């Protein structure tokens, strides 16, 4: 059951969504949603009841207990919020929460029903994955879109992939079946520096969002945080010449910033193996 007080009438709304967990290396994608919500003063719009979709042994609720007893219980939930960027003619709906544990078809159906009620005109899904990329150059962003004109404008190469999927992939397929323009963007995070936060990855995805919706987004402190992150990574690798040589090879200036379809598939397979080192390599 979706909880809401009534949906407002929005102006050419676009949905931007990211989920924590499997789709969110270094929390880079979910931090984009948090950043947008903060910069644009987003207000809560609706929540989805977590009971049908979460295994609470995997995504545990948190509780605050005082001497007076249990004061607050926070359940994992998926939340919609809405923002009206200044000096623009459209509204932005933000969607975030943990990746659901079960009943994905019902979850995707519920999300799509809310989008239909809000008259969403465009959907942007964000994810991040660990990859063999350098840290000093712009981090590659791969993507796919159901809109061929947008895909051409954003220079998105066709991607062929067969294997495990996350909720980003399932939502993309759901919106595509509904003929709602949907674009998925994945930023490639250096696997040797994939601890959270990774401001450079968040900033890279943020720039891609700006291009997709043609709206300026304040960077806040992300530029300075990115510079500090790069300095921190540089200090970490200085002590190991072999690692430094490997990382420097990833930053060769003649390398292509945009990954090919084969590169994306290989990076995603490596990402799966890092998430489950005891699993089947073929997956």
Q: What is the DSSP string of 168-183?
A: HHHHHHHHHHTT--EE
In this prediction, residue 263 has a pLDDT band, given cuts at 50, 70 and 90, of: low
pLDDT at 32 exceeding the cut of 80: yes
Q: pLDDT for 234-260, tens place per residue?
A: 888 877 777 777 777 776 655 455 555
Sheet (strand 2-3) strand order: 2-3, 43-48, 78-83, 92-98, 14-20, 122-131, 182-190, 141-145
| Percent of the chain at pLDDT exceeding 70 | 86
Helices and strands (DSSP H and E) totals, the chain: 8, 10
Q: pLDDT for 61-114, tens place per residue?
A: 888 888 777 778 888 889 999 999 988 889 999 999 999 999 999 999 999 999
pTM: 0.84
Q: Please list, residue by residue across 155-177, b when 16 or more beta carbons sit within 10 angstroms of its beta carbon and e when fewer do.
A: ebeebeeeeeebbbbbbbebbbe
| Structure tokens belonging to residue 219 | 């960077």
Domains of the chain with bracketed CATH: 2-275 (3.40.50.10900)
Task: Calculate the alpha carbon distances from 142 to 36, 74, 134, 207, 265 in Å.
Answer: 21, 34, 15, 13, 10
Is 244 buried (19+), middle (13-18) or exposed (0-12) by CB count in 10 A?
middle
Residue 61's pLDDT is 86
Please check whether residue 218 is in contact with residue 39, taking contact to mean a CB–CB distance below 8 angstroms: yes
Please check whether residue 77 is in contact with residue 14, taking contact to mean a CB–CB distance below 8 angstroms: no
């Amino acid at each position: 059951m979706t909880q809401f007080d009534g949906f407002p009438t929005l102006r050419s709304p676009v949905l931007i969504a990211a989920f924590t967990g499997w789709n969110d290396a270094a929390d880079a994608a979910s931090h984009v949603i948090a950043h947008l919500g903060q910069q644009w003063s987003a207000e809560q719009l609706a929540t989805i009841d977590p009971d049908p979709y979460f295994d609470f042994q995997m995504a545990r609720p948190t509780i605050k207990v005082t001497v007076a007893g249990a004061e607050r219980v926070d359940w994992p939930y998926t939340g919609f919020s809405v923002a009206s960027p200044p000096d623009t003619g459209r509204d932005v709906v933000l969607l975030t929460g943990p990746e659901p544990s079960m009943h994905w078809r019902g979850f995707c159906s519920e999300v799509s029903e809310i989008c239909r009620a809000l008259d969403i005109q465009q959907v942007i899904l964000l994810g991040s994955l660990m990859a063999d990329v350098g840290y000093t150059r712009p981090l590659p962003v791969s993507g796919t879109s159901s809109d061929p004109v947008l895909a051409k404008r954003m220079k998105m190469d066709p991607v062929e992939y067969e294997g495990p999927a996350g909720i980003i992939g399932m939502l993309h397929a759901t919106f595509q079946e509904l003929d709602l323009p949907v674009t998925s963007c994945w930023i490639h995070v250096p696997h040797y520096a994939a601890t959270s936060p990774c401001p450079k990855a968040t900033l890279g995805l943020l720039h891609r969002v700006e291009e997709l919706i043609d709206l300026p987004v304040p960077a806040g402190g992300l530029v300075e945080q990115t510079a500090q992150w790069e300095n921190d990574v540089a200090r970490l690798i200085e002590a190991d010449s072999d690692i430094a040589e490997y990382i420097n090879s990833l930053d060769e200036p003649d390398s292509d910033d945009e990954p090919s379809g084969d590169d994306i598939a290989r990076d995603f397979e490596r990402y799966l193996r890092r998430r489950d080192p005891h699993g089947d390599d073929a997956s």
